[in-house]
Amino acid sequence: GENVEQHPSTLSVQEGDSAVIKCTYSDSASNYFPWYKQELGKRPQLIIDIRSNVGEKKDQRIAVTLNKTAKHFSLHITETQPEDSAVYFCAASIMNRDDKIIFGKGTRLHILP
Amino acid sequence: DAGVIQSPRHEVTEMGQEVTLRCKPISGHDYLFWYRQTMMRGLELLIYFNNNVPIDDSGMPEDRFSAKMPNASFSTLKIQPSEPRDSAVYFCASSWTGTHSPLHFGNGTRLTVT
């Protein structure tokens, strides 16, 4: 089955700097890659997603890139702010096949003042 | 919409006891997922349903775990008997069309088995 690896497990960046989180997946048939943000004590919430027919997607300070050949995708957060501190999860799934969304183990992002 | 509703928010029980976690998905969502979250293993998919039918339960750790969805607005995850290693946060999530749309998570149930 699908396996999603995520790194780093912990990331600290100065406020205003950029943060990058990277994930790899194992099943080349995977075609949908969402990212979820989980603030302390709260539920995970979708922040951005990308489908395999595009290589990059942006939403304000957040962007995701996808390299299908290498089977990896990344989350980029620019001009980081204190409210970006959270755990971020990448995920992968195969639309129109088994509908399972498999998550990476998460990255705890600390924004330093 | 109130979102996905889970109960209880916290559950503390002794080893060997039966535990039942409850979930009410968002009305109209036809997929329901149960995940378990721990520091070591992250978010693990336990089981998911489509139109009340279990589709994949390969993530259910062992026979002590069972899940049901008797109707479109209610699902349960039962652990019998519970063990300390079952301690985790259990999330229920629902979505419109499986992976075509975002997962909407409930607030989770924090289970502690002593």
Of B50, B98, B103, the CB nearest to A46: B103
CB distance B67 to B77 below 8 Å: yes
Mean pLDDT value across residues A89-93: 94
Contact list in A for residue B56 (CB cut-off 8 A) is 98, 100
CB distance A74 to A20 below 8 Å: yes
Q: Which residue has the tokens 């968002």?
A: B26
| pLDDT surpasses 70 at B1 | no
| pLDDT surpasses 70 at B99 | no
Q: What is the mean pLDDT of chain A?
A: 93
Q: What is the DSSP string of A43-83?
A: --EEEEEEETT-SEEEETTEEEEEETTTTEEEEEE-S--GG
A99 Cβ under 8 Å from any chain B Cβ: yes
For B24-34, how does the pLDDT look when each residue is reduced to its tens digit (9 = 90+)?
Answer: 999 999 999 99
For B17-65, how does the pLDDT look when each residue is reduced to its tens digit (9 = 90+)?
Answer: 999 999 999 999 999 999 999 988 899 999 999 999 999 999 998 899 9
| Interchain CB distance below 8 Å, A44 and B98 | no
B70 Cβ under 8 Å from any chain A Cβ: no
B39 Cβ under 8 Å from any chain A Cβ: no
